[in-house]
Chains A and B, each alone.
Chain A
């Protein structure tokens, strides 16, 4: 297969969707950080564009190289990532009570974001290699260990949101891998029963977030403030929105965290129902095209890989939007391609690079 043929196999609709999301993300971020830029003369946009370029290069690299090469290096990458996660706990930067960042000079980086991808890689490889064997309880041991290790390290930071995301990712991959419905059902039921026990393991701030989720008026100026203001922002957008740069909740600083986790509130406020629902439809289309690539992949490696990564992106969208609307607790998961944050954008673009890479190498394409 020539390289020209290979590139012809790029999923065009998926590419345009991705470009649209990135552009929307920059526009929303521009508005969300405008007041801050005026006040402090530092713009988030510049930094984000740099990360965007870097992320796109990484994506291109991932697309050029056959994904099987990455699967070969999966354990090495996974091991390195675990090491980074340990390193975070030892020498990481602490912000807002959580130790999540590694600093390289002026650049800070969250290894936990990358861990999502390396874990998907290693899990895809393991499951693909063991597709012939029996799929009983015993076969679950190694996959759970592979997922559990990074999860435990991330929980320790603490970063409950990111850590809990490993569960649906692993579940989706195991599901597609072909784990018997009976075992899947039992695991799901066990999760539901045991999750109240998890309450005991939570930090105080995490508990208060969950309590406030149940009733935001519990503490309207403290923990519930963000959710209330976010709901006001989204709701006040009505059908058409208040216009770009015209959202009062955004521009007058009533919305905290609006350039990162709550950027969807800005979109909801300034572009209204049409803009916000349109964005969700765009994500739906992105998921649809990605799942199609998973279905049409020429081998189980690609299929599992794309399933894991698509689930990661999809879950972020669902949880992030649900928490901005106040229908899910505030767990601090960013919105893919749109929320500010270098490591996160890089992870998203890398994931897309791998998805494209699998798509380009489908049989009948290129």
Chain B
């Protein structure tokens, strides 16, 4: 019967359709459901305001300030060029640039395109009030991070950048996502978890044309916590200016607490450039500059210390009892060892020198004799005692440990015996020895406090909650040795013939030691370390100028500026 066949055809076709229906709804259904959700739900992000970084007195070093962006909604503008030209005149920007930004930014017709950032407040209010003149132009408030000290605090505060995929791997479990801005370098990086708030957002339902139908959910953004650091904004600026843009570092530490009052790496960079799309050139400049402004020299520069290391050599020999403490060596301006002749930095020679005089004049001949008598192992272990060769655990990322050579290391590394000449080099802070400015600062602090070396740190409070002072690392130091060293360091500043006399500051008694470290080609590294006031030491200071010349000329003069600022500052009281 042909009718039955006809019916069967329809029957099987309907079964096939039901099978297709089952495949679509039951097998692939969840995928289609997701597609439907993507169709209708949009998330409008509401970024959280990042916490401020405040100096020790509460002055802002980094803060999200309210800025105004001007955006254009494409679907509400009939003639974009004309509107943008009018807009450009109102906010004082170039119309060509606005047009270019607009064309680049157009995506969905309903999504506002930001054409100008950080518009003048007055112009923004004018636009907001007279909205009818320019339909489709809207003013959006946008938090813009600004850095009060600019270049002076770049290295220590760090900057913000988009999270990289490598960083994301470790940060993902803490709620970070792609396109998040995170701190890179300095305080911004180290305390990012506290500084970053919790982003919020509005989830909205839209129709097929992207028009808002209703709000589905709201998560209010939570502002990040403020971080108060130990820096003094004024002193930080003085220290940065003192370096005059040369490569180098300055750090000032309070001896009572280990508070870093200033931590400057030069040349600096302005972290604000990293969050401003209009300053991309400046960012790529900072990244490719051969002076490496992003490199925090306070903790990351591992360089030969030169004569500032003589403090270690002096202590090592004194404590070892080799040579006798009251020995006097004559300096004829040179030193013979076997076939070789080493020259003292002062060619005419210092004449007969005892330990205090040798420190005052930084006499190389004296310390060659003294160091050879003490021996390399003693010098190396003393250096470790003062904290060289190990991290200070300061709260700054990128710290280098430096390096202390000794005969054991040399045998293991080069399968060679340690030469006497290498002891001579070590005694005056040359050779394989590498230190960071912060380590030199710690040494100066150790001398000033008699071994109660405070823990250098930057964090003072999180969200007004003080974190206290980290425990002091007590090292038992020989008081007689320190007395001699202090006397030498005081004379180095106060004496007419002292190497650090340029650091002398009327009204403030200072102890210090200069250093001039030969390092490859070019000028020597210039060093100064010291503390003040002598009677009751309150601060330790280190100045390091990479290939800066002589420590006694360059670094000591800069230290003088810093001490003058310290003397007149509130910090003394």
A contact set with B: CB distance below 8 Å? 172, 175-176, 178, 229, 231-239, 248-249, 252-254, 268-269, 272-273, 276-277, 280-281, 283-284, 287-288, 291, 294-295, 303, 307, 311, 314, 317-318, 321-322, 325, 327
Contacts and interface: CB of A to CB of B under 8 A. Distances in A.
B3 A273 contact: no
Nearest to A173: B6
Interface in B1-44: 1-7, 10-11, 13-14, 17-18, 20-22, 24-26, 28-33, 35-37, 39-40
Given A231-B32, A238-B33, A291-B7, A318 B213 contact: no
A253 B33 contact: no
B208 interface: yes
Contact of A234 (B7, B21, B31): B21
Nearest to A233: B36
6 contacts: A175-B2, A175-B6, A178-B2, A231-B24, A280-B21, A288-B7
Given A231-B24, A235-B29, A291-B4, 20 more contacts: A232-B32, A233-B32, A235-B32, A236-B32, A236-B33, A238-B30, A239-B25, A249-B39, A252-B206, A252-B208, A277-B18, A281-B14, A283-B14, A291-B3, A291-B7, A295-B1, A307-B6, A317-B14, A325-B17, A325-B24
Interface of B: 1-7, 10-11, 13-14, 17-18, 20-22, 24-26, 28-33, 35-37, 39-40, 205-209, 213
A124 to B, nearest CB: 14
Contact of A236 (B1, B35, B207): B35
A291 B6 contact: yes
Nearest to B3: A295
Nearest to B206: A252
A321 B213 CA distance: 30
A273 B39 contact: no
A249 B17 contact: no
A253 B209 CA distance: 9
B528 to A, nearest CB: 69
B39 A254 contact: yes
Contacts of B207: 252-254
Nearest to A255: B208
A311 B6 contact: yes
B3 A176 contact: yes
B168 to A, nearest CB: 31
A328 B118 CA distance: 55
A288 B14 CA distance: 12
A318 B29 contact: no
B15 to A, nearest CB: 8
A338 to B, nearest CB: 15
Contacts of B2: 175-176, 178
B214 to A, nearest CB: 10
Contacts of B26: 238-239, 273
A170 to B, nearest CB: 13
A327 B20 contact: yes
B283 to A, nearest CB: 38
Given A234-B32, A235-B28, A273 B17 contact: no
Contacts of A325: 17, 20-21, 24
A172 B32 CA distance: 37
A86 to B, nearest CB: 32
Contact of A268 (B21, B28, B39): B21
Contacts of A232: 32, 35-36, 39
Contacts of B25: 234-235, 237-239, 268, 272-273, 276
A285 to B, nearest CB: 10
Given A176-B6, A236-B32, A283-B14, A252 B21 contact: no
A249 B209 CA distance: 12
Nearest to B34: A236
A322 B24 contact: no
A254 B13 contact: no
Task: Identify the interface centre among A234, A236, A277, A314: most chain B CB within 10 Å of its CB.
Answer: A236
Contacts of A234: 21, 24-25, 32
A77 to B, nearest CB: 25
B33 to A, nearest CB: 4
Contact of B39 (A252, A277, A314, A327): A252
A273 B395 CA distance: 61
A291 B14 CA distance: 15
Contacts of A294: 3
Nearest to B17: A321
A318 B14 contact: yes
Contact of A172 (B6, B13, B18): B6
